[in-house]
Amino acid sequence: MTHSPCFSLYRALKASVVLAALTLSMPASAALKIFACEPEWGALAKELGGSDVDVYTATTAQQDPHQIQPRPSLLARFRQSDLSVCTGAELEIGWLPVLMQSAGNPKIQSGQPGYFEASSAVTMLEVPTHLDRADGDVHPYGNPHIQTDPRNIGKVAKALAQRLADLDGAHAADYAKRAADFDARWSAAVAKWALQAAPLKDQPVITYHKEWAYLFDWLGIKLAGTLEPKPGIPPSAAHLQDLLNGLKTQPAKMILYSAYQDNRAATWLSDRAKLPAVQLPFTVGGDKGTDDLLGLYQVTIDKLLAGLKASAP
């Protein structure tokens, strides 16, 4: 049985309509899959990548970034990723190498274009001149908590935007446009926060862990002591008593601890020294109003200023 040319054209058009409908019902072209080790890098990747990226954040603000378990769910995500964005400087030394070894994904191995370390874009602080296990959990490449200084976020953003463009050249112009927009907004915000935080300069504080070195470097805050006797060693009764005794001759203004840390040691010292204990978010999602990077730093500054006010006689 033969069909007229008109009937054949009808069939071809019908097939085209069906194909178009199927295409519209399918997902758009695959976005660049990003595995972000910490919330701050997940938030930054979303700012720079927009709809061109699919971001999975492996940890939360309620988790100690040093102590993460390489769960099967993390492995599955890592295996599927095109780019991993992590702090580096051995912050993730306890779990990221396990994912790398088990994932079978050559694209995001150390040294490959799909592996991005944020710490490579900044100047590291507290780089030890010697290593001794007796000194506690000391990082050989310097203090890894670079995100506590918002100026570092700006530096990492430039490097990450370039890496995104390198991996996904089809959207390079879009990454560049978002990066420029972010840089303008971020620079203005950092200048505003610096003015707001001026009263914090030279104020002595006690922290739980040495996670605020970069924040203190930015704002000129002084570290008067830590609740940990050594990095990574939990607070002891003897050490807390020594801190309390020391405050009689070298006073502090407040005690700082992060959202993921146990507050008992901070509360103990706060009650006896009559100092405000201030919980800071540390990263995106660590407190109300910190769902993005702008909120994270604004809440941090507000909490520090509130703590300083509460410490006034």
pLDDT digits (tens, 9 = 90+) for 275-286: 999 999 999 999
Please list the residues that pair with 32 across neighbouring strands.
53
Lowest mean pLDDT among 131-140, 231-240, 242-251, 301-310: 131-140
* Residues 36, 137: Cα–Cα separation, whole Å: 23
Q: What percent of the chain has a predicted confidence (pLDDT) above 70?
A: 88
Confidence of residue 195 (pLDDT cuts 50, 70, 90): very high
Mean pLDDT over residues 228-239, rounded?
94
Q: Do the domain assignments include residue 1?
A: no
* Residue 133 confidence (pLDDT): 64
* Residue 136 confidence (pLDDT): 62
Indicate if 58 and 204 belong to the same structural domain: no
Indicate if 273 and 292 belong to the same structural domain: yes
Query: Average pLDDT, whole number, for the chain?
Result: 90
Q: Of 159, 193, 227, at which residue does a domain stop? A: 193
Indicate if 217 and 130 belong to the same structural domain: no
Indicate if 83 and 147 belong to the same structural domain: yes
Indicate if 201 and 188 belong to the same structural domain: no
The 8 Å CB, 24+ separation contacts for 125-134 are 125/213, 125/214, 125/217, 126/210, 126/213
Helix/strand/coil for 68? coil
Mean pLDDT over residues 51-60, rounded?
98
Instruction: Report the predicted TM-score, pTM, of the whole model to 2 decimal places.
Output: 0.88
Q: Do the domain assignments include residue 97?
A: yes
Indicate if 221 and 274 belong to the same structural domain: yes
Q: Do the domain assignments include residue 171?
A: yes
Q: Do the domain assignments include residue 66?
A: yes
* Residue 135 confidence (pLDDT): 64
CATH code of the domain in which 85 resides = 3.40.50.1980
Query: If we measure between CA atoms, which residue out of 182, 221, 227 comes closest to residue 203?
Result: 221
Lowest mean pLDDT among 26-40, 206-220, 235-249: 26-40
Which residue do the tokens 């995100």 mark? Answer: 147
* Residue 179 confidence (pLDDT): 98
* Residue 13 confidence (pLDDT): 37
Residue 96 tokens, joined: 């990221």
Whether the pLDDT of residue 222 is over 70: the answer is yes
Indicate if 165 and 226 belong to the same structural domain: no
Indicate if 156 and 49 belong to the same structural domain: yes
Q: Do the domain assignments include residue 60?
A: yes
Q: Do the domain assignments include residue 297?
A: yes
Q: Do the domain assignments include residue 170?
A: yes
Structural domain total, the chain = 2
pLDDT tens digits along 79-100:
999 999 999 999 999 999 999 9
* Residue 138 confidence (pLDDT): 72
Q: Of 128, 158, 193, at which residue does a domain stop? A: 193
Label each residue of 6-35 as H, E or C: HHHHHHHHHHHHHHHHHHHHCCCCCCEEEE
Phi, psi (degrees; rounded to nearest 5) at 264: -65, -45
Indicate if 38 and 168 belong to the same structural domain: yes
Whether the pLDDT of residue 198 is over 70: the answer is yes
Q: Do the domain assignments include residue 238?
A: yes
Task: Specify the length of the chain in residues.
Answer: 313
Q: Dihedral (C-alpha) 175, 180, 181, 186: value to the nearest 10 degrees?
A: 120
Q: Of 193, 224, 247, at which residue does a domain stop? A: 193
Helix/strand/coil for 149? coil
The DSSP letter of residue 259 is: T
Indicate if 177 and 205 belong to the same structural domain: no
Domain residue limits at 220: 197-311
Indicate if 128 and 275 belong to the same structural domain: no
